[in-house]
């Protein structure tokens, strides 16, 4: 390609930088997709308000910045706390009232699933409109000194400092999640409920508490993704959660609905292919990639690329 | 008891409904003295067609479709492009838009036919977004985000001119036809087969129903009416842009069906009316109206899980009105 042509190195600089951009955006999708996957795992329902958790995380960070200008580390912690609170409240309001029946048939029933799908949707409308009324519907700029766009030069390559932050926070979050799921009691109970809710109840696991914990963990990851993207892209607005939410949802489905590793891998594939595609096609058409992946996956690999084999789809 | 009543007053409900649609509602709207009320009623009519068609696929057949607004968009663009490009009148573009949408619906639906439950829903979401992205980016053909302006209204030269009132009556007539067709399909042995497919598709297949054929037929019919609704929308508003046919719109349609009652035709109409009329009634409280709409949606799911006019009461009404088999002296079955 002409753009990298003058430099003597062997790979195309522009291509490599797009790859890095893609991985960064893929990690953001991955953080959100994990929330979807965890909640789908324990409840077998899709949480349509997840995009709003992401938006609330970003706004909580912005409020903290404008109120008392804390260091970056504290901003991330505040976003995490906001996410945890939102997740807790969301579960209480939009999901728990529909969990009155505990037998297996109603846990898996279509009516119950549609009810929670729509109640989470109603909550997402309410949250988005409430933020719009309180904060205004236009784009909110992030104060200059918090913007993570300082260029960092490594050899011939230029990165934004935000990309490093996204890498760092994502890797730490993913590692923490693995530790939590595999080494702690609450992680064990989350995996048990995901595996078999009724069975988990019979062996004495408090399913309600486990579900609350799942919502809190998933929403914390979603909220931190929101503030990272806010700092990296420089503006936040009430409808910002929609597109990443859909992309993360696609990643979850591609990964097989209840495989965390699959969701992360597919989120990265998605982010990288979108970034690389902008080399060849216009930005607007790049959105098509996620949806084409989704349909192709569903048609040819109905259990997802990483999903466990199931009886039928 | 009810048999006596339905013998002396045959088909009371449809007469009442038609009277309300063509006499009472126009008079009330006319009395309110503004074209705006007619425009709101027209929107409600278009969405009633949409919800009834979406209810056929999601409520009666149990295939959760999250891409219905995209098919509505295909119909709207087909009508808008053929009306502005070829100068076709509305009575050609309406069926044409319906047929094109049904064809595209079948083509897109074929690969998803073996998916069930959430996988089908997600596939329709993906297909819907693919259609939206195409409408948005294929600038040479659809003019992209600029939309299509100056779509001719509903008029027959020499007979009547395009106005809010003519729009209302055109939408009302098409809505009545739609409800009649979907009603005949739903409340019949065919509809019973669809409900069997919804309750347990494997069992229905074992009983000898060709479920793939049924699903494709349902998809075609539903998309046909979604396309007609889209065509009506583009003719009555005169301007369309891709943002009218986003995922949010699909969700709004779904919310209308669920609030009204899944699987119930009167419920779908009630849901459309409620969720569209509410923001208009609440206009004085301005900014808060979408919050109220969200809350109404939430509360109705919480306290009326079967919807305002659920399937059971809808079927009961239909049987009282039309069910020959429920009459003591009738010798014919209910079909």
**Are A291 and B126 in contact (CB < 8 Å)?**
yes
Confidence of residue A19 (pLDDT cuts 50, 70, 90): confident
Q: Does the residue B323 lie in any domain?
A: no
- C-alpha A32 chain-centroid distance: 1
Kindly state whether B199 is in contact with chain A, defined as any CB-CB distance less than 8 angstroms: no
Q: Does the residue B217 lie in any domain?
A: yes
Q: Does the residue B166 lie in any domain?
A: yes
Q: Rounded to whole angstroms, how far apart are CA atoms B260 and B267?
A: 4
Q: Pairing relation of β-strands A157-160 and A151-154?
A: antiparallel
- Among residues B143, B126, B162, B127, which one has the least CA distance to residue B35? B162
Nearest-by-CA chain B residue for A111:
B305
Q: What is the DSSP string of A68-109?
A: H---HHHHHHHHHHHHHHHHHHHIIIIIGGG----SHHHHS-
Q: Rounded to whole angstroms, how far apart are CA atoms B292 and B115?
A: 36
| pLDDT for the residue numbered A2 | 44
| pLDDT for the residue numbered A308 | 59
Interface probe for B, chosen from A122, A127, A137, A310 (most Cβ of B below 10 Å), is: A122
Based on the structure, what is the number of domains in chain A?
1
Q: Does the residue A4 lie in any domain?
A: no
Q: What is the DSSP string of B118-153?
A: HHHHHHHHHHHHHHHHHHHH-HHHH-GGG-B-----
Q: Does the residue A307 lie in any domain?
A: no
| pLDDT for the residue numbered B5 | 46
Quick: pLDDT tens for A174-216. 899 889 988 888 889 988 888 888 888 889 888 888 889 999 9
* Eight-state DSSP code of residue B117: H
User: CB-side exposure of A123: number of CA atoms within 13 Å?
Assistant: 24
Average pLDDT over residues B301-323: 72
Quick: pLDDT tens for A259-300. 888 888 889 988 888 888 877 777 777 778 888 888 888 778
Based on the structure, what is the number of domains in chain B?
1
Q: Rounded to whole angstroms, how far apart are CA atoms B179 and B170?
A: 14
- Return the higher-pLDDT residue of A80 and B155: A80
CATH number assigned to the domain comprising residue A287: 1.10.3470
**Are A302 and B115 in contact (CB < 8 Å)?**
yes
Q: Does the residue B286 lie in any domain?
A: no
Quick: pLDDT tens for B125-159. 888 888 888 888 887 777 877 777 877 777 776 66
Tell me, what's the ipTM?
A: 0.77
- Judged against a pLDDT cut of 70, whether residue A166 lies above it is answered with yes
User: Could you give the 3-state DSSP secondary structure of residue A160?
Assistant: strand
**What beta strand segments (E) does chain A contain?**
140-141, 151-154, 157-160, 235-236
- Measured between alpha carbons, how far is residue A11 from residues A25, A156, A244, B183 in Å? 22, 11, 30, 64
Nearest to A97 among B115, B137, B302 (CB): B302
In sequence order, the β-bridge partners of residue B160 are B156
Nearest to A114 among B64, B125, B247 (CB): B64
Q: Does the residue A71 lie in any domain?
A: yes
Quick: pLDDT tens for A228-246. 888 888 788 888 888 888 8
Q: Rounded to whole angstroms, how far apart are CA atoms B58 and B262?
A: 8
Average pLDDT of chain B is: 80
Confidence of residue B331 (pLDDT cuts 50, 70, 90): low
Six token digits for residue B214 = 């049924």
List CB contacts of B205: < 8 A, sequence separation 6 or more. Answer: B211
| pLDDT for the residue numbered B225 | 92
A vs B, Cβ pairs < 8 A, gives 108
Q: Rounded to whole angstroms, how far apart are CA atoms B127 and B241?
A: 18
Six token digits for residue A121 = 């949707």
| pLDDT for the residue numbered B130 | 86
- Return the higher-pLDDT residue of A36 and B150: A36
The number of residues making up chain A comes to 313
- Judged against a pLDDT cut of 80, whether residue A305 lies above it is answered with no
Q: Rounded to whole angstroms, how far apart are CA atoms A199 and B38?
A: 57
Place of tokens 């914390």: A220
User: CB-side exposure of A220: number of CA atoms within 13 Å?
Assistant: 17
Q: Does the residue A56 lie in any domain?
A: yes
| pLDDT for the residue numbered A107 | 56
* Eight-state DSSP code of residue B24: I
Tell which phi-psi region holds residue A151, choosing left (phi > 0), alpha (psi between -120 and 50) or beta.
beta
Q: Does the residue A1 lie in any domain?
A: no
- Measured between alpha carbons, how far is residue B42 from residues A228, B81, B164, B232, B264 in Å? 44, 21, 8, 9, 22
Give the least confident one: A214-218, A305-309, B15-19. Answer: A305-309
Q: Rounded to whole angstroms, how far apart are CA atoms B179 and B49?
A: 7
| Chain B residues 11-70 with a CB less than 8 Å from chain A | 62, 64
Six token digits for residue B197 = 């497919």
Measure the N-to-C terminal CA separation of chain B; round to a whole number of Å.
21
Residues of A with CB under 8 A from a CB of B: 46, 94, 97-98, 110-111, 113-115, 118-119, 121-123, 125-126, 129-130, 132-133, 242, 246, 249-250, 253, 257, 282, 284-285, 287-288, 291-292, 294-295, 298-299, 302, 312-313
Tell which phi-psi region holds residue B63, choosing left (phi > 0), alpha (psi between -120 and 50) or beta.
beta
Six token digits for residue A36 = 């979807």
Six token digits for residue A135 = 């904060």
Q: What is the extent of the structural domain holding A236?
A: 13-300
Q: What is the extent of the structural domain holding B237?
A: 10-245
Q: Does the residue B318 lie in any domain?
A: no
To the nearest 10°, report the CA torsion of B72, B75, B79, B82.
140
Q: Does the residue B228 lie in any domain?
A: yes
Q: Rounded to whole angstroms, how far apart are CA atoms B240 and B249?
A: 14
Q: Does the residue A58 lie in any domain?
A: yes
* Eight-state DSSP code of residue A140: E
Within 8 A of B298 by CB-CB distance, chain A residues are 94, 119, 122-123, 126
Q: Does the residue B269 lie in any domain?
A: no
Q: Rounded to whole angstroms, how far apart are CA atoms B234 and B250?
A: 17
> What is the percentage of chain A residues whose pLDDT exceeds 90?
11
Within 8 A of B138 by CB-CB distance, chain A residues are none
- Judged against a pLDDT cut of 60, whether residue A91 lies above it is answered with yes
Interface probe for B, chosen from A97, A121, A283, A311 (most Cβ of B below 10 Å), is: A121
**Are A313 and B119 in contact (CB < 8 Å)?**
yes
List CB contacts of A159: < 8 A, sequence separation 6 or more. Answer: A17, A20, A151, A152
Most confident of B82-91, B174-183, B244-253: B174-183
Q: Does the residue B216 lie in any domain?
A: yes
Q: Does the residue A146 lie in any domain?
A: yes
């Amino acid at each position: 390609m002409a753009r990298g042509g003058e430099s003597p190195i062997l790979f195309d600089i522009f291509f490599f930088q797009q790859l890095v951009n893609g991985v960064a955006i893929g990690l953001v999708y991955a953080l959100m997709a994990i929330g979807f996957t965890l909640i789908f795992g324990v409840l077998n329902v899709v949480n349509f308000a997840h995009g709003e958790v992401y938006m609330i995380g970003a706004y909580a960070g912005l409020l903290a910045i404008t109120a008392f200008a804390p260091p970056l580390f504290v901003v991330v912690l505040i976003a995490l706390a906001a996410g945890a609170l939102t997740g807790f409240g969301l579960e209480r309001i939009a999901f728990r009232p529909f969990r009155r029946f505990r037998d297996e048939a109603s846990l898996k029933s279509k009516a119950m699933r549609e009810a929670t799908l729509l109640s989470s949707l109603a909550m997402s409308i309410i949250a988005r409109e409430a933020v719009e009324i309180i904060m205004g519907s236009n784009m909110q700029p992030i104060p200059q000194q918090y913007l993570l766009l300082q260029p960092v030069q490594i050899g011939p390559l230029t990165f934004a400092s935000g990309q490093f932050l996204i890498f760092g926070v994502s890797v730490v979050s993913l590692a923490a999640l693995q530790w939590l799921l595999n080494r702690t009691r609450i992680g064990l109970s989350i995996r048990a409920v995901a595996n078999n809710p009724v069975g988990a109840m019979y062996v004495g696991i408090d399913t309600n508490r486990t579900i609350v914990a799942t919502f809190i963990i998933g929403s914390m990851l979603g909220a931190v993704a929101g503030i990272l993207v806010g700092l990296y892209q420089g503006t936040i607005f009430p409808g910002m959660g929609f597109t990443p939410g859909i992309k993360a949802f696609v990643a979850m489905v591609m990964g097989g609905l209840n495989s965390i590793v699959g969701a992360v891998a597919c989120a990265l594939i998605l982010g990288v292919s979108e970034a690389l595609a902008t080399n060849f096609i216009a930005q607007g058409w790049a959105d098509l990639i996620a949806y084409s992946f989704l349909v192709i996956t569903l048609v040819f690999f109905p259990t997802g690329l990483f999903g466990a084999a199931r009886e039928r789809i | 008891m009810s048999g006596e009543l339905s013998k002396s007053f045959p088909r009371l409900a449809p007469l009442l409904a038609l009277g309300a649609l063509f006499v009472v509602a126009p008079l009330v709207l006319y009395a309110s003295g503004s074209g705006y009320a007619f425009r709101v009623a027209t929107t409600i009519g278009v969405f009633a067609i949409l919800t009834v068609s979406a209810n056929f696929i999601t409520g009666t057949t149990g295939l959760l479709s999250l891409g219905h607004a995209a098919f509505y968009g295909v119909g709207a663009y087909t009508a808008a492009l053929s009306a502005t490009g070829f100068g076709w009148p509305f009575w050609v573009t309406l069926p044409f838009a319906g047929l094109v949408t049904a064809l595209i619906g079948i083509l897109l639906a074929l690969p998803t036919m073996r998916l069930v439950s959430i996988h089908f829903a997600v596939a329709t979401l993906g297909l819907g977004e693919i259609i939206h992205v195409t409408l948005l980016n294929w600038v040479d053909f659809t003019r992209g985000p600029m939309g299509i302006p100056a779509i001719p209204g509903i008029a027959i030269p020499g007979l009547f001119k395009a106005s809010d009132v003519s729009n209302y009556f055109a939408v009302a007539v098409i809505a009545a036809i739609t409800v009649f067709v979907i009603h005949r399909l739903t409340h019949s042995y065919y509809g019973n087969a669809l409900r069997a497919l919804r309750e347990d598709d494997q069992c229905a297949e074992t009983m000898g129903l060709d479920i793939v054929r049924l699903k494709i037929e349902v998809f075609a019919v539903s998309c046909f009416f979604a396309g007609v609704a889209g065509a009506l929308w583009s003719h009555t508003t005169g301007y369309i842009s891709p943002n009218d046919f986003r995922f949010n719109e699909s969700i709004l349609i779904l919310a209308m069906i669920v609030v009204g009652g899944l699987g119930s035709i009167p419920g779908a109409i009630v849901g459309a009316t409620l969720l569209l009329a509410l923001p208009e009634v609440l206009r004085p409280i301005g900014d808060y109206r979408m919050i109220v709409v969200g809350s109404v949606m939430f509360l109705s799911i919480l306290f009326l899980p079967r919807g305002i006019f659920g399937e059971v009461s809808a079927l009961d009404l239909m049987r009282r009105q039309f069910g020959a088999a429920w009459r003591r002296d009738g010798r014919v079955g209910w079909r």
